[in-house]
Amino acid sequence: MLTSPVQLITPRRFGDTRGWFTEVYSAPKFETLGITCHFVQDNHSLSVPRYTLRGLHFQTPRRGQDKLVRCIRGRIFDVAVDIRKGSPTYGQWVGAELSAENGHQLFIPIGFAHGFVTLEPDCEVMYKCSDTYAPDHEGGIRWNDAAIGIDWLIPSGVTPELSTKDAVLPLLADFESPFPYDGRPLAPLT
Q: Answer yes or no: pTM beyond 0.75.
A: yes
Catalytic residues: 57, 127
Tens of pLDDT, residues 109-163: 999 999 999 999 999 999 999 999 999 999 999 999 999 999 999 999 999 999 9
Instruction: Assign 3-class secondary structure to the chain.
Output: CCCCCCEEECCCEEEECCEEEECCCCHHHHHCCCCCCCCCEEEEEEECCCCEEEEEEEECCCCCCCEEEEEEECEEEEEEEECEECCCCCCCEEEEEEECCCCCEEEECCCEEEEEEECCCCEEEEEEECCCCCHHHEEECCCCCCCCCCCCCCCCCCCCECCHHHHCCCCHHHCCCCEECCCCCCCCCC
Q: At residue 69, what is the residue type? A: V
CB 98 within 8 A of CB 91: no
pLDDT at 3: 75
Q: Indicate the pLDDT class of residue 4, thresholds 50, 70 and 90.
A: confident
Q: Indicate the pLDDT class of residue 168, thresholds 50, 70 and 90.
A: very high
Distance in angstroms (rounded) separating the CA atoms of residues 170 and 54: 15
Tens of pLDDT, residues 28-60: 999 999 999 999 999 999 999 999 999 999 999
First-to-last C-alpha distance (Å) of the chain: 16
Q: Which domains does the chain have, with CATH numbers?
A: 36-178 (2.60.120.10)
